Structure 1
Amino acid sequence: MTADARSDEWRSRRARRLAGLAWMRREDRTDGTPVRFVADELLVLDEHFATARQAFAEQGFSDRDIVEEGDVPDGFRRVRLSGLDVARAARRVRVQAEAAGDPRVAAGPNHVFVSTPLEHAGAYGPPRPAPPGALSGADGSGGVGVLVLDTGMWLNSPLPKDRYVTEDFESDVGDDGVRDGDVGHANFVAGVMLGRSRRVQPRMVRVVGPFGVCRESDLVAALRQAGDEPIINLSLGGYTLDDRPPVLLTAALAGLLGSGDRVVVAAAGNDGQHDRPFWPAAYAGTSAPWRRRVVAVAAHDGRRICEWSNTGTWITLAAPGADVVSTFVHHEDFPDGWARWSGTSFAAPFVAAAIADALPEAGSARLAAEAVVAGSDRRFGRYAGVA
């Protein structure tokens, strides 16, 4: 089977599995890219909730149909109404809020984000076995923490247990899950960092479930529990309703990046889109005052930008993302525990590790990120890149 056929077959199997998630809905764009969100749920700013109730009434709902969900920041409401046309309600609230002079995104779905190689695996399809690679040894000079919000970590991996911290992990997933890449993603991301840097200290926190997806509300809840790590790696993302910034995620990142010293490194996505914002990476191209603290990473293959890598004016720089070798999980199909995989998911941790290495000399995460970008001495198309 050719690489393209392998990738197509894998994507078809993934699409069938995702379609089986009864709690998830999707709205397809004319370009074929999907917007995924939680069925029946609307996220809305408190001050526009009255408009939301009008939108619900227009769809035949009464106040007693509204179910309040929790786990959202102050100033927001998360409500569920069985059978709600979420996109229609969100647009209704937005139009009225904008007419009243409020420039914010007043309402939106509870978007669903995908671990970026799982929907499109680049030219190489699913992970393939690879001979063991090398990991950098700790140099004893003090580590730089990187918070990695990802899938669960498997403990039966070549990763040294003293080189990372994990707060949750998935260990009871069947063979089908391994072949489909639903597990091992976090192990691979951590291995990229530890293969690039002697200084990085990843803290792996599970936010992505076994189907490779997470809800916006779950991602925000995890971000609200961020510790002192100056770098956050997000090898996940997705598209949003009308390409507007996600409601809750915008507020969460504003809180994290609006003050203090922290940067977010985010994967650009793997759908080959050239003009569509892929969030959260696309915050780097917005007018948010903290946009320069978001590093949006596209993938290159050593010669050019990968044809499957998303691109756009919001990309910060490019990093290796094609045919990457890193730690995976020990399994009969991966006897050495190493794999070869492709995706912007694996370009992002390369950059996160580079920022960690630059931080002690730069003095801050923001200045370290700027130094990595400024020191990128290669060009891949119109983007600066690290090799």
Structure 2
Amino acid sequence: MVDQGLRLERILRTHDEFVVVGEASETAAVVRRDSLVVPPAAADRLTSALQHRYAGGVDDLGHLGLARVRVRGFDRGDQISDFVREQQLPVRPVHLMLGAPFYGGGPADKPRPIPALAAPGPRADAAAGAPAPARATVAVLDTGISRNHPWFPADVWEPVDGLATWDELDVDNDYALDAQAGHGTAIAGIVRREAPDAALLVGRVLDSAGVSDEVAVADALSKLRAHAARTGRPVDVVNLSLSCYTHDDEPPPSVSREIAAFGPGTVFVAAAGNASSRRPAYPAALEDVIGVGALDEGRPAAFSNSGSWVDAWAPGARVATTFVTRRDDSALPGLDIDEKCLAGYVEWSGTSFAAPYVAGAIAAARSAGRSPAQARAQARARFREPQP
């Protein structure tokens, strides 16, 4: 298994805009040290309250119902949480979002190479000349998708307007594969295998280290909604193999608001996390989201989060799927995984890879004519927690 403490240390070293709030335990969270968010009407009051900590600069995020105020001088996470707690304002820190979270984030292990997998073909009934099914649409907001992978020809996916697309290998140019390079391609592969008739909508919201924040995720959801409105094609399922813990264990309001804005026609599925914890992780713990835990040979995996907020359980150990491929111009002598992974196929473990099983099943049910409520209920029944 991955050493989560070392992972967190590396994330904080390479993303020094983040800082830990609380101890590295059941109370910890990771927040941006350089910004706070409030409703736009409260921005002036927040800048006054910050005094010398105000760095100058307010970003208008009116489409998210927020203003982001730039700050300085917070060297420790407890300074941020103390400041927020003392204010008579609806002010919040901006929490780190990661692929399949521990507070330090990330999958439960490293990918291992496997032989090439045959790309999904049309369903048997479609191949036999049956009427083509309605194509469900599944949005995968993650690290992107691999260039020129044979599983993802142009007719099975499209980019989300306003979001980057490609799953990158080495963005920080240290000649080593980034920690979560291939994460989005792996998610998309599982969805495609479970729902080969579905159309994928792909947008990059995590960098190749698996790092983002709640404002960026909310903004990506807003862009996804705008894309659906522009094209006139509703989004049936959204897979979010990312999450966060919050400093007060309350839901991040911007993400919650954006998810609710999609309405009942869109089913959200999110990874529960890999910390062996019952602490609620968001967005999986939101009432409107199906939080997915990981199974290992039919039993809850040792690494999987659990609790009453986990709604479904699916295979999450050694899941065979697609992976990012090496481009001819890439040089990665510092690989800490088997280089054969870059042929494009791996097995990988984590709740990240359990969630798209459920997302794919819901998409397949929608393609078969089930309503969103029926597809949701069917998935909950099929992927219920195994009994002791």
* Match for residue 38 of structure 1 among 32, 36, 54: 32
Match of 1:79 among 38, 63, 69: 69
d(CA) in 2 for partners of 1:177 and 1:89?
A: 40
Closer, same or farther: CA 11–242 of 1 in aligned 2, 3 Å:
closer
Deviations 1:131-176 (A, max 9, x none): 1234421344232101111002221434231322235214462796
> Could you tell me how far apart the structure 1 residues matched to 2:259 and 2:205 are?
16
Against the structure 1 CA distance between its residues 120 and 28, is the aligned structure 2 distance closer, same or farther, given a 3 Å change threshold? farther
Shifted more, 147-156 versus 113-122: the winner is 113-122
Distance 1:330 1:364 in 2: 37
Give 1:233 shift: 0.6
Q: 1:24 to 1:154 in 2, by over 3 A?
A: same
Unaligned runs of 5+ in 2: 124-131, 229-233, 327-338
Q: 1:115 to 1:335 in 2, by over 3 A?
A: closer
Equivalences for residues 326-345 of structure 1 within 5 A: 326-331=321-326, 332-334=339-341, 336-345=343-352
2:284 to 281, 285, 306: 281
The reply on whether 1:251 has 2:257 as its aligned counterpart is: yes
Runs (5+) with no aligned partner, structure 1: 98-105, 285-290, 383-387
Give distance in 2, aligned partners of 1:248 and 1:177: 36
Query: Equivalent residue for 1:67?
Result: 57
Question: How far is 1:81 from its partner?
Answer: 1.8
TM-score w.r.t. structure 1 length?
0.81
More helix by share: 1
Match of 1:218, SS state, is helix
What is the SS of the residue equivalent to 2:217? Answer: helix
How many residues in Structure 1 have an aligned counterpart in Structure 2? Answer: 348
Q: Does residue 319 of structure 2 align to residue 319 of structure 1?
A: no
Identify the match of residue 238 of structure 1 among 241, 244, 260.
244
Partner of 2:21: 27
Once the two structures are superposed, residues 99-128 of structure 1 have per-residue CA deviations (whole angstroms, 9 ceiling, x without a partner) of xxxxxxx32111110011783532xx2111
CA deviation after TM superposition for structure 1 residue 206, in Å: 0.7
- Do the aligned partners of residues 269 and 360 (structure 1) sit closer, same or farther apart at CA in structure 2, a change above 3 Å counting? same
SS at match of 1:69: strand
Q: How big is each residue's C-alpha offset from its partner over 1:283-317, in whole Å with a ceiling of 9 and x where there is no partner?
A: 13xxxxxx3xx111011113210111111111111
Rounded to whole Å, the distance in 2 between the matches of 1:134 and 1:78 is 46
Q: 1:114 aligns with which of 74, 78, 98?
A: 98
Query: What does 1:58-207 align with in structure 2 at a 5 Å threshold?
Result: 60-61=52-53, 65-73=55-63, 75-84=65-74, 85-93=79-87, 96=88, 106-116=90-100, 119-122=105-108, 125-139=109-123, 140-161=132-153, 162-167=155-160, 168-171=165-168, 173=170, 179-207=177-205
Note the C-alpha offset of 1:256. 2.1
Q: Could you tell me how far 1:334 is from its partner in structure 2?
A: 2.3
